[in-house]
Structure 1
Amino acid sequence: MEPEALEDALASVAMFAPAPRPVLRALAEAGRMAHLPAGAVVCREGEPSDCMFLVLEGEVRVSREDAGHAVELARLAPGELLGELGVLDGAPRSATAVCVTACALFELPKAEFMARLASSGSVELLGAVLATIAGRVRQTSQQLFDKMLAERTLQAEMEAERHRALGELVAGVAHELNTPLGVANTGASLLERAVQQTALADAAAASRDATEALEDILEAAELVRRNIARAHRLVESFKSVSVGHFVDRRETVDLRRAVDEVVDLFRVRARDARIAVEIDDRVPAGRGGWTGYPGRLGQVLTNLLLNVERHAFPHGEGGRTRVELSATDEGFVLAVRDDGVGVPAALREQIFAPFFTTARDRGGAGLGLAIVRNLVVDGLGGRIEVESSAGEGTCFRVLLPREAP
């Protein structure tokens, strides 16, 4: 390459652009041209950073070793620098560079560059060098942030898939339990009717022992039927863990009205539990229209309120609960806030897991919040968040799109 063309190439690079023409000429004279075939190694990770390269022709792949595998970091085109940070900070090469195609490179030794930089007296050139360093640091920070964000997103997706798969499994098992429960219920009813038949009752009346035996059988049959009914209710709860088993119609409703209906129904239980419930509606007038599945939303709010009754005030001491409604650019936020006992930090990560409960001794099945999460995420296309500290109450916040998918 002609000296003048090389000077122009250097001037096109942001780090060298502020340099006066004589400095560019001196830099061009201090380096050398290198013509490399495709596949040639320009520099290797861990080598001393004794020079930098300017790509003039071709393409260079930059990669790092990770667990024995080469991870591509970038591809450099004509006009881009390679190895300048190592020259500036003195650290070994942080990556390996290989020619993807035949390449023409300008190689500038570190000693020559530093000498020209010191003797140039150009504040602009020094500023450009510092800007290059800052830009690379910012770029690296952004790449690290993007990687961490991608890992968190993947982790969240995997967790959601785990909950979804577990929900489908539970719902499937529950469906299979329905048949034997139905048979057992029918058998208990037949037994009860048979014992109550007039002829059998008359025959047993002649013997006190027979009468007591019949009474025991009737009591046992009633006990069986009650527990079968309880098991059936549990099965229905298990099936609700999977959104696929929840039938609902998509429609446009007034969100405040839908919330009012659920809260009004809950107030009967709340009164007995000494819980004061209020609604704080911050949605501007005329902006409360929501398109989605009212039945699913009602189930979500009902379960959150029942969760307050069972867990926020476990000893029946009562308290206050506020249902908050607000609008965002994307949709709505429905929050249920209480001033109860709160959730310890160690348990917050587990509260949405199926079958996790701190109230097993009070009949808790550990499905209420699992159902809520699945309905919000899979059934309404939203998100659910929780804020809580032990002794300071809890707030469940449901973020809903203006139109559910």
Structure 2
Amino acid sequence: KRFIDNGIENLDLIYRNLNRAAELVSSFKKVAVNQDGELNSLVNMHDLISNVMLSMRTDLLEKAPNVVIHCSSQLMFETKVGPLQQVLQQLLSNSVIHGFRDNQNNEIEITVERNESSLIINYYDNGIGVDKSIKKRIFDPFVTTKRGEGGSGLGMHLVYNLVTQALGGSVYFDDQSSKGTRFIITLPLTEANKI
């Protein structure tokens, strides 16, 4: 009986670790994947953000943030939709997992503006902010405050890779922010966007 009990316990442990390994491999594939295959398409930015919010409704429910979107409902932008959706999903996910302690008074603000050369996405949450020890390394792989709690530390590294490589833009982390977390993503306008 003891042998069978130990066997069941060991199988459970193996199963959980295999799942964890599969999740890590999946994360590696996302980070390493070459996103050049996707073609640019014209997208309504307000609709894109709203659709991402809708797809993440269940994830957001736990911390119940009030999400405010400042973006013209007429703002059209030509981009690779898949990578941009992944970036927004990862930022929202980070706010929920790392930024908010409970479900009280949580806010996320997404501001999208366009100038003559680029589209600027300003993402802000009023959470606990980023620990001093990792501020300078936030885009490095395997940097996480949730070590041992399921965090792989690949989320912001993925955001950086997607923005700089797949979307040809830049992402800036405001490490001077005294409260909450702010990211500023700048995406260049294509010729079609300049019309």
Same fold (TM over 0.5): yes
Post-superposition offset of 1:322: 1.2
Post-superposition offset of 1:273: 1.5
Counterpart code for 1:223: L
Residue ranges of structure 1 left out of the alignment (5+ in a row): 1-208
Give the count of matched residue pairs.
Answer: 190
Equivalent residue for 1:365?
152
1:323 has 2:110 as partner: yes
Question: In structure 2, the residue corresponding to 1:400 is in which secondary structure?
Answer: strand
- Pairing of 1:223-238 with structure 2 (within 5 A): 223-238=13-28
Post-superposition offset of 1:347: 3.5
226-235 vs 265-274, which deviates more? 265-274
Equivalent residue for 2:143?
356
CA RMSD of aligned residues (A): 2.5
Using the aligned pairs only, state the percent identity: 29
Structure 1 residues 345 and 371: CA distance shift in structure 2, 3 A = same
Question: In structure 1, the residue corresponding to 2:129 is in which secondary structure?
Answer: coil
TM-score w.r.t. length of structure 2: 0.84
Post-superposition offset of 1:222: 4.0
User: Is the Cα–Cα contact under 8 Å of residues 174 and 181 in structure 2 kept in the other structure?
Assistant: yes
TM-score w.r.t. length of structure 1: 0.43
Counterpart code for 2:80: Y
Task: Provide the rounded CA distance (Å) in 2 between the counterparts of 1:322 and 1:388.
Answer: 17
Question: In structure 2, the residue corresponding to 1:362 is in which secondary structure?
Answer: coil
- For CA contacts below 8 A with separation 6 or more, give which structure has more relative contact order: 2
The one of 32, 35, 43 aligned to 1:242: 32
1:221 has 2:7 as partner: no
User: Is the Cα–Cα contact under 8 Å of residues 343 and 390 in structure 1 kept in the other structure?
Assistant: no
Per-residue displacement from partner, 1:11-67 (whole Å, max 9, x unpaired)? xxxxxxxxxxxxxxxxxxxxxxxxxxxxxxxxxxxxxxxxxxxxxxxxxxxxxxxxx
Structure showing the higher helix proportion among its residues:
1
Structure 1 residues 299 and 391: CA distance shift in structure 2, 3 A = same
The one of 43, 47, 55 aligned to 1:265: 55
Residue ranges of structure 2 left out of the alignment (5+ in a row): none
Question: In structure 1, the residue corresponding to 2:179 is in which secondary structure?
Answer: coil
- Pairing of 1:77-226 with structure 2 (within 5 A): 209=1, 213-214=3-4, 216-226=6-16
Structure 1 residues 327 and 284: CA distance shift in structure 2, 3 A = farther
Post-superposition offset of 1:294: 0.9
Structure 1 residues 360 and 391: CA distance shift in structure 2, 3 A = farther
